[in-house]
């Protein structure tokens, strides 16, 4: 069994661009994950990482076409849409920005080590969370995805992403916040 003293809480992209109902990428589920994430962050004090997605500069390869499709998101990294939401901005956490959906890579590994125990929360379950989880598990990390502390683009897409990640035990397991924070 693991504990918060040997695991990292990873809060994927809790940003205005994904939380704001007016944003084309806003998750209708986002408001429901704020309290579970805050409770978990209290348990993981000193071992919390918040990530931010920012548009790649310059956009190359498929990112060029992607940002042409979603021009509202083709902004500088300091734009307010990329800010962490106020409800979570005061957490005792390290903040890491990345220009990729999946956050697993050398920057995250420099903080957590190469094969950490990660507790995953955040948005969007069906994009950045699943991209991070699969890459991290493939590299040897062990993950628990907190189902009620993740927000999908829709409830249906959230469930589809959870169903995919459920195919990867024991590298990836699913749990509720009550199971992680009894």
Q: What is the pLDDT along the chain (182 residues), one digit of tens a residue?
A: 556 678 999 999 999 999 999 999 999 999 999 999 999 999 999 999 999 999 999 999 999 999 999 999 999 999 999 999 999 999 999 999 999 999 999 999 999 999 999 999 999 999 999 999 999 999 999 999 999 999 999 999 999 999 999 999 999 999 999 999 76
- Answer whether 15's CB lies under 8 Å from 53's CB: yes
Domains of the chain, start order: 8-54+84-180 (3.40.50.850)
Residue 138 structure tokens? 């493939």
* Partners of residue 119 on adjacent β-strands: 9, 144
Q: Residue 88's closest CA among 53, 52, 116, 54?
A: 52
pTM: 0.96
Q: What is the pLDDT of residue 4?
A: 65
Mean pLDDT of all residues belonging to the chain? 96
Q: What is the pLDDT of residue 2?
A: 58
């Amino acid at each position: 069994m693991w504990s918060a003293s040997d695991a990292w809480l990873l809060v994927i992209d809790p940003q205005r661009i994904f939380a704001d109902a007016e944003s084309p990428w806003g998750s209708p589920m986002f408001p429901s994950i704020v309290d579970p994430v805050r409770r978990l962050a209290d348990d993981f004090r000193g071992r919390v990482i918040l990530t931010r997605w920012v548009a790649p500069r310059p956009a190359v390869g498929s990112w060029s076409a992607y940002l042409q499709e979603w021009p509202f998101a083709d902004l500088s990294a300091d734009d307010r849409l990329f800010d962490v939401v106020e409800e979570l901005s005061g957490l005792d956490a390290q903040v890491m920005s990345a220009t990729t959906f999946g956050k697993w890579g050398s920057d995250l590994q420099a903080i957590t080590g190469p094969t950490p125990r990660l507790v995953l929360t955040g948005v969007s379950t069906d994009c950045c969370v699943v991209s991070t989880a699969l890459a991290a598990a493939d590299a040897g990390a062990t993950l628990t995805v907190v189902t009620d502390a993740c927000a999908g683009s829709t409830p249906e897409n959230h469930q589809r992403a959870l169903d995919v990640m459920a195919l990867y035990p024991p590298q990836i397991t699913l749990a509720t916040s009550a199971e992680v924070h009894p």
